[in-house]
Amino acid sequence: MQTILTTFPNEPSCWHELAELYMRQGEYDKAAHCCEELVLVDPNAANNHNRLADCYYSLGCSKGSSGKTGAGGNAGVGGLDAENLLLARQHYAMSLEREDASQNLHAVYGLAAAAKAIFDCSEANSSSSSSSGGGGGKSTAHAAAVNRELLAFSVEKLQSANMNYI
């Protein structure tokens, strides 16, 4: 597969197949690289952003990921990696920019899950930093507000599609 990609680096079906193989093996950092290549080949395909976001979400939520945090992430409290979760949220949102939420429930559900995980991560970090005297600041408050709005948006869309998200 990699030989074919060396010869034909813009062949999306090969990148997709290689990403699927890496995902089955749990090598989400390598799968994310393949999905990044898919996004570069066709940045307007919502499903490419969904696949990449799924990889980042898996990296962000994997506990005990043996030091692999993908995009230079910082392993946070409880094994959550906020940087990869933010990348996942970003790509789910980009997917929704390309395809309406009513037709792209994968991205809506992923956005809700990523925003909830980021919320949980920030709650854990704020409780640990408040005991050590750390301050949040204006940018942290803004980021939390954006995350709350995205979570509310995605939950509303899921409820309107008669899907429950807890």
Percentage above 70 pLDDT, the chain = 80
22: left (phi over 0), alpha (psi -120 to 50) or beta: alpha
Q: Which of 39-53, 73-87, 152-166 has the largest mean confidence?
A: 39-53
Q: For position 118, what pLDDT does the model report?
A: 93
Residue boundaries of the structural domains of the chain: 2-160
Q: What is the pLDDT of residue 136?
A: 54
Please, which residues have CB within 8 angstroms of residue 42's CB and are 6 or more apart in sequence?
A: 12, 48
* Whole-number pLDDT of residue 120: 87
pTM of the model: 0.81
Which H or E run includes 5?
helix 2-7
- Give domain 2-160's CATH number out of 2.40.70.10, 1.10.357.10, 3.30.460.20, 1.25.40.10: 1.25.40.10
Sign for the pseudo-dihedral over CA of 34, 39, 41, 45: positive
Highest mean pLDDT among 2-11, 95-104, 120-129: 95-104
Residue 75 pLDDT: 47
The per-residue pLDDT for 5 is 78
Instruction: Provide the percentage of residues in the chain whose pLDDT is more than 90.
Output: 60
What is the tens place of the pLDDT at every residue in 108-123? 999 999 999 999 887 7
Tokens 């792209």 locate to 104
pLDDT > 90? residue 135: no
CB of 15 closer than 8 Å to CB of 5: yes
